[in-house]
A and B are shown apart, each in its own frame.
Chain A
């Protein structure tokens, strides 16, 4: 079964702290994506990871991919309120079908 699991589902963190969101997937793939969704809005792309060991960074967010472990992480450094959103990982198992995780709702508290 093709499956993508994210954890945690909900994350409340204080400003300035670090945390990691995990994305596990069920079968081989080397195409993984991270998206952000603000409340009531659409999704926007954060990172595209296309190979084992890929690491991408943008501001306080860093994403990595370990295809052998079937695991991607989204690391948040020194969180700020503007990062409050829902984060989704998505995996392309077949070259044209995207499977999304259930999302991690992040709230950054002052």
Chain B
């Protein structure tokens, strides 16, 4: 089954404790990206990757890191989480190329609480 797998679904942590949210896709998509969803703000893009070893900042990259060492994986790293990073996070992937296949496939989300 074609899917984007995110883990964990729920995460409670404390300020300053490094964490990683994993994201993996099995559709051979070149493009992967991370979003945070906050009430009243919609989704905002954190980072994206056009292919292996190619990553770039989105709209709200501060406090986050990513890596793309393999095509299928795109982990999100919070080196020193702060309470303002409490949010619902989504990973997504897609083909790119101006076809109707370039829709984003989303993971199931990770609800992060930073105390």
Residues of A within 8 A of B (CB): 4, 31, 33, 35, 41-45, 48, 50, 88, 90, 95-103
Binary interface profile of B, 74-115, with partner A (CB < 8 Å = 1, else 0)? 000000000000000010100010111011111111000000
Number of residues of chain B lying within 8 A (CB) of chain A = 28
User: B12 contacts the other chain (Cβ, under 8 Å)?
Assistant: no
Partner of A96 from the list B44, B96, B105, B109 (CB cut-off 8 Å) is: B96
Say how far B38's CB is from chain A's closest CB, in angstroms.
10
Contacts of B102 in A (CB 8 A): 48
Which residue from chain B places its CB closest to the CB of A2 in the assembled complex?
B59
**Interface residues of B, Cβ cutoff 8 Å to A:** 31, 33, 35, 40-45, 48, 50, 56, 58-59, 90, 92, 96, 98-100, 102-109
Q: Are A43 and B56 in contact (CB under 8 A)?
A: no
> Are B48 and A42 in contact, CB atoms less than 8 angstroms apart?
no
A-B pairs, top 8 by smallest CB distance, nearest first, are A45-B103, A100-B43, A102-B42, A100-B42, A42-B106, A43-B106, A48-B100, A42-B108
Give, as a whole number of angstroms, the nearest-CB distance from A69 to chain B. 21
